[in-house]
Structure 1
């Protein structure tokens, strides 16, 4: 039997990106307050300036606009400009499209793993796999969030962008295999994070159209909010008076033509006007550094002057949940599906799956060209991978008839760091995640892959796999393919630990760099600075639940509500006096 290794290779090219953990409707996107940055005045004033119109930023901005003037500065464009690009059938093509103005920006970590950053209104929810699941109870408790307020914030998000998925053949077989493999009990359809097997929500509607964080701007007050697109923030501005703490008072941003603009807080003497960073785990710590908040010696080495606060923890604690895949060619047709069923194990590995993706040849070539360009900026060896890419035959059929199962290590405990590579705010910084450095993360991977092997060999999944090769054989095939830029260690004895290390990919759930208790306090205020907060995944100590987008959107709503309550209380006291 010919197992079509060439087809398996193309499945891998797609699945590298399947789980990148926002949007289209006839009404959505007709926002009169959404403008290109070229139309901005040279100087403007707002109560709140939000840097980043992504997963957290859209929810936060929509909420704050109910009782304040809000400016959102988004470096990317609008997802409404090309609505079909976010349809489920175009998922892989959109994620792989890394041309200069695309929604997805490729970066390669110093670990040799491909990753991606969103640059579009709605952030990662525009290019991810769409799975929606709430955080575990422990995450909410450890973050010090009020349970009732969290519930209300989740529901606010869910009313606008979340759906129950239409479960078909492959996902049903995957569920049955998980239960047969011991990932029990079966919890049906639920948004909650519960040990066992379940179906979660999705931001794809029944017609396969994506709904994203950008849709949450439908909640906004159109009279008090402005969203500038293609607005790249270059610096946060601070006032320093005598021995007082530095205070953020505005930002400098540029449009796509390189023209500079200034936006300032409307009432700089008030404690109720703030600059809020919601640019994500890569951009938020980097922009703090470029603005003079970070490790002083490191900033000085790149000519950042003045240093506002010597804060050595900025950029530290970077984590990315490691993912390892298994691809299973199917003798039967399979539906196009992204993540729907998930196995939440007791040992700390989450198991997810998808089926039947495809990608255009031209975009695959574009992706490879982007990889080679970025490799020149890293410390990674380039010769062997460059030779491989240049000799690749890209005329093969890239339509898949297969499923993919992945394990994601919870947490993780392994941590790395982020550093400047240059002072261009749009370039990728240098990021090291240290995948599987902690032995507990590695143990989770081994147990997760062992469970996937049981799922593949289960009776419930048997319809969608050939009698041979074995599950172990499928794992062996992947070692020969360029799923990342790491060296391979092929030995006579199969070693699941080494397999985890060699074939690690990202699930796009990177976080850290501005962590609570280290860079920001429990109210997400930057330590040592007034009128500046960070509200996004860079503040997380670990990734919430199986997939973080639900919790990041919730956090934007939750903190927006909290800030508004503080604002209203402050206004009441001012009126009394």
Structure 2
């Protein structure tokens, strides 16, 4: 029977960080388990390949929510990374930490050690920012953070129009001023995606004390006397047990970590009895507090030079492909969006509660799974509520680990979220009708000029709103009865088991969630090292 000091379940954004940091100590024998395959293909490495990954059968779990009454009974598609790097291998590569108040709020909720001043050193530790280091940025870490290789003129005009409306310019959305408008940075290194795996694990894959296994579907965590002892996995069609001498660390993500806890007997007692799962610990918060950013897409037809749609479609796309192969530059080396504006939906908000993202191109998801660049020159702006009031849940569909859980996000279930999103649409329209970007606009395509009243906007949201794919909070950190882990990320009520991923966020961060998830991995590794069990 295999035995390791630490077993990490999930080679995603947090799990890869943990594998690197825990194996830095040559005395630790570390096992990293991943259900998916290796992710070493051209389209994984190419930033624009995110479109190819969106419905990928190998590298994506391809989840769907339950039908949502508030959204016309739609089942929403919910992609999640499956393979080395997890969602960092298929996402839009945007690097946003969140607002400093997010982390101060976590600390205020009873989680000492998680304030902004506490977590800033971990952000800096993981970063190699191509601009160099300063009091906010890191420069010697494994993860490469870069500026867009192409800054389109339309993006500059969007920033200028937002500034004309009083939105402050900021040169660094992860620096001193978060609430403002400016170019985003991305986890791209020399034109290639720099996933958590590529940044943290691939350079040290040769270590003798680090084992990485793909194609390993963990069935459950094994317990004895309320202590995690190891895991049961299916590998190569065979069921086997792997033992942990020190700890089992669950880093399967906000959708899969609560599922695995419940399959292992940790969760709401009545729900586990319903599925015939022996109870290890009655933990009512497991799978609750599901938060995500509800997303709305707006698009504008524009003058030909205002969009690069034509440059990456038709015959021109082959030229761009050749350009990328030769130079690692051009439009294929860009992340999903160029510019972000963090704004308030109403003056009384303490800090920005809306993120507006701009890109000088548009695309359409077709029912057959094809993602195609739109044929006419167009620009896009999207908006989502950063700190939603509504929350949902994850529950088991069955006791079969191979069946996807039941996802119920409850989007638009709170009136404040609806009001904020309506204000977000109005804010986008305000920016797009202000010079200089207004001179590039020919007409609004979505929602369209016929959508004006609050009722019409709500109707549009119900029909077309989507997820920004930032699930969090389902194994939240805290001290209240619904908290699943403590401030050291230990699962309350059992020993030698932690959760280290986005599921521990008490409140989802104000922005894209990949960067804070990797920070959680960095801090989690430190906590584990400090708490190391003496054998």
Normalised by the shorter chain, which TM-score bucket? 0.7 to 0.9
Q: How big is the shift at 1:456? A: 1.8
Distance in 1 between residues matched to 2:23 and 2:373, nearest whole Å? 49
Distance 1:230 1:433, change over 3 A: same
Structural RMSD (CA): 2.6
> What is residue 155 of structure 1 aligned with on the other side?
124
Give the count of matched residue pairs. 466
Asked whether the equivalents of residues 526 and 533 of structure 1 are also in contact (C-alpha less than 8 Å), the reply is yes
Q: How big is the shift at 1:136? A: 1.5
> What is residue 294 of structure 1 aligned with on the other side?
267
Structure 2 residue aligned with 1:195, among 176, 179, 182?
179
Distance in 2 between residues matched to 1:402 and 1:445, nearest whole Å? 22
Distance in 2 between residues matched to 1:419 and 1:51, nearest whole Å? 20
> What is residue 523 of structure 1 aligned with on the other side?
488
Asked whether the equivalents of residues 165 and 206 of structure 1 are also in contact (C-alpha less than 8 Å), the reply is no
Distance in 2 between residues matched to 1:504 and 1:48, nearest whole Å? 41
> What is residue 14 of structure 1 aligned with on the other side?
none
Distance 1:110 1:419, change over 3 A: farther
**In the alignment, does 2:231 pair up with 1:251?**
yes
Asked whether the equivalents of residues 39 and 59 of structure 2 are also in contact (C-alpha less than 8 Å), the reply is no
> What is residue 350 of structure 1 aligned with on the other side?
355
Structure 2 residue aligned with 1:235, among 198, 201, 220?
220
Structure 1 range deviating more: 325-334 or 103-112: 103-112
Asked whether the equivalents of residues 490 and 499 of structure 2 are also in contact (C-alpha less than 8 Å), the reply is yes
Distance in 2 between residues matched to 1:514 and 1:409, nearest whole Å? 21
Structure 2 residue aligned with 1:264, among 243, 248, 268?
243
Distance in 2 between residues matched to 1:493 and 1:125, nearest whole Å? 36
Structure 2 residue aligned with 1:134, among 97, 101, 108?
97
Distance 1:463 1:109, change over 3 A: farther
Asked whether the equivalents of residues 107 and 117 of structure 1 are also in contact (C-alpha less than 8 Å), the reply is no
> What is residue 103 of structure 1 aligned with on the other side?
60
Distance 1:364 1:440, change over 3 A: closer
Distance in 1 between residues matched to 2:373 and 2:247, nearest whole Å? 52
Distance in 1 between residues matched to 2:373 and 2:503, nearest whole Å? 39
**In the alignment, does 2:248 pair up with 1:275?**
yes
Q: How big is the shift at 1:88? A: 2.4
- Aligned to 1:367, the other structure's residue is in SS state coil
Structure 2 residue aligned with 1:500, among 461, 471, 494?
461
> What is residue 403 of structure 1 aligned with on the other side?
379
Asked whether the equivalents of residues 422 and 454 of structure 2 are also in contact (C-alpha less than 8 Å), the reply is no
Q: How big is the shift at 1:138? A: 1.8
Distance 1:498 1:366, change over 3 A: closer
Distance 1:502 1:138, change over 3 A: same
> What is residue 32 of structure 1 aligned with on the other side?
none
Structure 1 residue aligned with 2:471, among 507, 510, 516?
510
- Aligned to 1:264, the other structure's residue is in SS state strand
**In the alignment, does 2:406 pair up with 1:430?**
yes
Distance 1:198 1:263, change over 3 A: same
> What is residue 84 of structure 1 aligned with on the other side?
43
> What is residue 117 of structure 1 aligned with on the other side?
80
**In the alignment, does 2:11 pair up with 1:48?**
no
- Aligned to 1:77, the other structure's residue is in SS state coil
Q: So what's the TM-score if we normalise by structure 2?
A: 0.81
Distance in 2 between residues matched to 1:514 and 1:204, nearest whole Å? 30
Distance 1:357 1:424, change over 3 A: farther
Distance in 2 between residues matched to 1:252 and 1:216, nearest whole Å? 26
Distance in 2 between residues matched to 1:431 and 1:71, nearest whole Å? 29
The superposition leaves residues 281-315 of structure 1 with CA deviations (integer Å, 9 ceiling, x where unpaired) of: 110000011111111221122222x2111222211
Structure 2 unaligned regions, length at least 5: 69-73, 107-111, 129-142, 309-330, 346-352
Distance 1:83 1:310, change over 3 A: same
Distance in 1 between residues matched to 2:505 and 2:85, nearest whole Å? 19
Distance in 1 between residues matched to 2:243 and 2:254, nearest whole Å? 24
Q: So what's the TM-score if we normalise by structure 1?
A: 0.75
